[in-house]
Structure 1
Amino acid sequence: MAEVEVLRVFVGPDGRGGNLLGVVRDGASVPGAQARQRLAAELGYSETVFVDDTERGVVDIWTPSVRLPFAGHPTVGTAWLLGAEVLRPPAGEVKAWTEGDLTWVRGRAEWASGRRTQRFGSPAEVDALPAPPPGEGWLYAWAWADEAAGRVRARAFPRRGDGIVEDEATGAAALVLTAELGRPLDVRQGAASQILTRPHPDGTVDIGGRVSPAP
């Protein structure tokens, strides 16, 4: 049986929230796509990471149903756990670093294709959405909580039919929204999570947040 470490990623400033992440440090203990997808489905987290080369930072990211080329909370969480300066998911090289109690990674919006954003009129409208809302495909519902300050209220609905009804904290979707708006954001997602972002002129976006071991 593979050993799985469980983290909370994008923990809120009050210590609550955070999206659960499973990390298998010894990726070789779960060889093959079928076995990895099966374990990710059994764990039931929105994503599970398999570390295939600790020194080089090679990682394989799975939801309960599909393999992802890139994802935010898995790269932030794994960078924190390994103390990595670079991770290498299938999408490409991801720089990682820490600033105080925040762990940051740098990615590109094209690595997170398929995540559609939809703006609502107020945080109350976002909060009132059923989980999941009617329709198909990945939806990132958001509204300005304080536009001048760049603070956003968001909820995320993968709508893949794999048991993940709502994603507590979604760094890749926050990256896409940041690229669309072209400004730094302070995203408050799910029940109590916080995601910080910063865009750069070259099209990359930094995604940062707090990480802690799950109890």
Structure 2
Amino acid sequence: MVDHEVLRVFCSADGRFGNRLGVVLDGPAVAARDERQAVAGKLGFSETVFVDDAERGLIDIYTPTLRLPFAGYPCVGAAWLLGVPELVTAAGTVAVRRDGEVTWIAARADWAPPRTLREYGSSSEVDGLEVPPPGEWIYAWARTDVPGDASFGADVVGVRARGFPGRADGIDEDEATGAAALLLTAELGRPLVVTQGRGSQIFTRPRADGLIEIGGRVSR
């Protein structure tokens, strides 16, 4: 197996949880797309990043079964690991900034892969959902109280969410999904504090220039 790092992206405030991300730092050693797809399938993470140029932040993103022009949590994880001011993805250039322990990226909502955003009446309804059959990528969410460690202002929305990729690739539920949170932020037009999966935490902020920021904590 090719050498790779494993990160946890969108960790909780106490450093737990987060979605596991594979990062192949020597991307040119696995140059062909079919080879990269095979590596991503063998690793079996929700997504794997291949770094083609660490100084430029040039990356390539794969799920176990397909290539993605852009995805949120791989970009946050790669930005944290590489320490670059921007990332270059197939969808476009992603701005990066850091604020304490939180790494932020900024992207366009139309870069995100399609997701079905399905609102529920309470967090308990979201918690009680069974994994749906394969077919569509479902982001189940409900409004909830904002966690006490967030200070985003009066307009912030607290969200409880779960993500079901529906790809039949062995990932029945995503622990944390930046692109889906980006789409929900675009729909609501407000900053979010999202608690997803077992306890991962995602922050988002719409910007005046039309971009949306996605932020979170990253750990090895």
- Cα distance in 1 for partners of 2:82, 2:168 equals 31
Alignment of 1:157-176 (within 5 A): 157-176=164-183
Q: Taking structure 2 as the reference length, what is the TM-score of the superposition?
A: 0.93
Q: Taking structure 1 as the reference length, what is the TM-score of the superposition?
A: 0.96
CA contact (8 A) 1:27 1:52 kept: yes
Matched, 1:195 2:194: no
Alignment of 1:78-117 (within 5 A): 78-117=78-117
Matched, 1:8 2:15: no
CA contact (8 A) 2:139 2:163 kept: yes
- Cα distance in 2 for partners of 1:56, 1:211 equals 20
The one-letter code of the counterpart of 2:168 is G
Matched, 1:177 2:184: yes
- Cα distance in 1 for partners of 2:107, 2:115 equals 15
- The match for 1:130 is 130
- The match for 1:141 is 140
Shift of residue 135 of structure 1? 5.8
- Cα distance in 1 for partners of 2:29, 2:217 equals 28
Q: Is the partner of 2:215 in helix, strand or coil?
A: strand
Shift of residue 69 of structure 1? 0.7
Q: Which structure 1 residue ranges, 5 or more long, are not aligned?
A: none
Of the three residues 188, 191, 204, the one matched with 2:211 is 204
- Cα distance in 2 for partners of 1:141, 1:190 equals 11
Shift of residue 149 of structure 1? 4.7
- Cα distance in 2 for partners of 1:60, 1:149 equals 32
Alignment of 1:56-67 (within 5 A): 56-67=56-67
Aligned length: 212
Percent of counterpart pairs with the same letter? 59
- The match for 1:153 is 160
- Cα distance in 2 for partners of 1:122, 1:46 equals 26
Structure 1 segments of 4+ aligned residues over 6 angstroms from their partners: none
- Cα distance in 2 for partners of 1:158, 1:141 equals 11
Shift of residue 197 of structure 1? 0.3
Q: Is the partner of 1:2 in helix, strand or coil?
A: coil
Shift of residue 46 of structure 1? 0.2
Q: Is the partner of 1:17 in helix, strand or coil?
A: coil
